[in-house]
Each structure stands twice: as C-alpha cells, then as structure tokens.
Amino acid sequence: MTTASSLKEIIKAGAADLGFSSIGFARALPVTESMREHYLHWLSVGGHADMRYLENNLDKRFDPRLLMPGVKTIVVVALNYFPSCRLPEGEPQIADYALGNDYHDLVKAKLRLLAERTGFQLLQRDAVAVKEGDPPGYRAFVDSAPVLERYWAVQAGLGWIGKNHQLIIPHAGSEFFLGELFVTEELPPDKPMTSRCGKCHRCVDACPTQALCLPARQVDGYGEITGFSSYRCLSYQTIENRGELSAGAQAAMDCTFYGCDCCQRACPWNRFAIPTTEEALQPRRELLEMTRQKWDNLTVETYRRLFKGSAVKRVKYEGLMRNIRALKS
C-alpha cells in the first residue's frame, strides 16, 4: 500500500526525471492575513500599474480551495532557465527567460506528465471534489491563474523572496520558472524557508528605474517585501505596457529591449547558477545571429519565425518595434 510519505517520494523522483530543479509541498490553506493585507494595499496604491487582471478573483487568489474544490496539497516545482549562452555582446538583448520556448507550455506539459505518471486524474475547471474511491485529482497551473506562485514556493520550502521580489533558491539563484500542481491527496508538507538576504540590497541599488525601494516590510508566511512599482519596472514597460514607453524607461533601457535582468544579475546568489540543459530553452541560431541592423529592419514575417512558440509574442510585433526604436544608439 502506498503511503502519503512514499507517494511524496515518488513525485519527487518523477520531478527530477522530468528535469525540474526543485520541488516542495505545502498545505492548501488560505494565505496569511498579513499576506492578504499586503496584496490589497499594493493594489490600492497602484503598484500593479494597469494590469487589471491582478485585481480579479481575489477570493481564489487568497484561498486555493476556492480555485479547486477538494485540493489538499500544493506541489510547487522550479525549472532552471539560466542560459548557456546569450545574444552576442554589444548587440541588442532580451531577458534570459525569453531566449527559448514559452515556459507556460513547457512547464505545464511537464507538470501534467508528472501528475499522470503518478496516477492523478486531471480535473476540469468546473469539477467538484473527487468522490471516495476515485483516483486522486489534480490541476496544473503556470502563471496563468489566480495563484500567488512565489508565496506557495516559500510555503513549500523551495526558497525565499529576495529584495528583488524573485524567489531565490539557495546555492542555485533566481532564474527559475515556477509551476504548481493542486492535488486532492494530502501529502506531508515541507518547512517554509526564511530569507537569507541579510543586509544585502544590491538588487535594489542595481534597478535602473528605482522600481524597488527600501525599507522592506515583514509579511507573515512570505518574508520581507520591498516596495515595488510595476509602472517603473522595465519588464512591465517593455512587455505588459500597451502604450508608449515612459520617459524613465526609455532613458534606462540601455541595450535590452525586452524585459530586464538587472536585479537578478546583481544578486550574489546567482553566482551559483548553472546553465540549463533543457533543449526547449536554448536560443535558436537565427536569434543568436541577430544584429542591431537586423532588429531595426525586423519584418513581421521574421518576427513570427524568430519567436514562434516564444513568450516574446506576448508583446506583439508592434510592441517589440516600439521597444527597438527606443534603444540607445
């Protein structure tokens, strides 16, 4: 007979086989009141800029049991995306996470494989809790549902939240995609991890638009949280923003026209990062051969070919050209 502890070990072994770098388990309970208050305050002061979807489904965001009836455990996985190579030095750059294929599809496919190999059955969005005698049920989420991913990663013991708002995994860094399996099986939870950032604030100092600010405040069940303005952040400006780039963004872009990794590259924990071996996350040869002149003359056809199956398509051709035109000469 498979016990909860042995099932947990089976899931961990399966995650490693699928290439996940880290995995943890948390009880599916409402978030702490402190976390709830912090998130609502952040919305109230406009910290999310115009990303209105972050205001939706707050009841489910704060209580995973409302998102999937019957959920007992949240399994959180991390997939390394630290690049083995970047675009040529001196040429326009894009953020590390977008060099390969879209992580949403990749991580979700791996999560479903993990669940199905373990014997879980997929539950539909409107499904009620599984009945007694049914196989354990699951749903997979990857940055596309009202799930506080980093909160649950902390609860599951994967790492802590750095002052740059990224999940930091000890002796591994922060360049990881997160994904979650909500399962109806009650599995032994892992112990949440406390921050190891100490007095370091290199990420705050490195932010070119001062999107991060100190002092940090303590939030139960999450750790210290610095102030964060999405509107100022270059990742927001060059990806989520559908209007014109702010003057601050244009002045701070330097050579990166999609996203920003300044706070991550400043983090001392990323000196432990190991390049990913995941084939789907490797940049395509044509992308590596792009030059400033080629970017300036990028056509819709080349854009579609370069970024087929890529997260970069989120910004669309017009948005990408807006960013390219704003690059410094």
Give CA–CA dist 66/85, Å, rounded.
42
Amino acid at 309: G
The pLDDT tens digits for 269-305 are 999 999 999 999 999 999 999 999 999 999 999 999 9
The pLDDT tens digits for 193-211 are 999 999 999 999 999 999 9
Banded model confidence at residue 224, pLDDT cuts 50, 70, 90: confident
Give CA–CA dist 114/18, Å, rounded.
8
Give, for 140, the enclosing helix (H) or strand (E).
strand 137-141
Amino acid at 166: Q
The pLDDT tens digits for 241-254 are 999 999 999 999 99
Largest CA distance in the chain: 66
- pTM > 0.75: yes or no: yes
Give CA–CA dist 174/223, Å, rounded.
16
Residue 241 token pair: 């923003």
The pLDDT tens digits for 63-100 are 999 999 999 999 999 999 999 999 999 999 999 999 99
How many percent of the chain have pLDDT more than 70?
A: 97
Catalytic residues: 143
The answer to whether the beta carbons of residues 173 and 270 sit under 8 Å apart is yes
CA angle 184, 185, 187 (to 5 degrees): 135
Amino acid at 224: E
Alpha helix (H) ranges present in the chain? 4-17, 33-44, 58-62, 64-67, 103-118, 149-155, 202-206, 234-235, 247-252, 262-266, 285-288, 292-296, 300-306, 316-325
**How many angstroms separate the Cα of 132 from the Cα of each of 118, 129, 135?**
18, 9, 9
Structure confidence at residue 146 (pLDDT): 97
Mean pLDDT of 224-252: 96
SS3 271: helix
Q: Which residues contact 99 (CB under 8 A, 6 or more apart)?
A: 81, 83, 86, 87, 281, 282, 283, 287
Give CA–CA dist 205/327, Å, rounded.
22
The answer to whether the beta carbons of residues 177 and 278 sit under 8 Å apart is no
Whether the pLDDT of residue 1 is over 80: the answer is no
Give CA–CA dist 196/162, Å, rounded.
8
Residue extents of the structural domains in the chain: 1-328
Give CA–CA dist 288/214, Å, rounded.
37
Encode burial over 20-32: b for 16+ CB neighbours within 10 A, e otherwise.
Answer: bbbbbbbbbeebb
SS3 53: helix
Give CA–CA dist 176/257, Å, rounded.
21
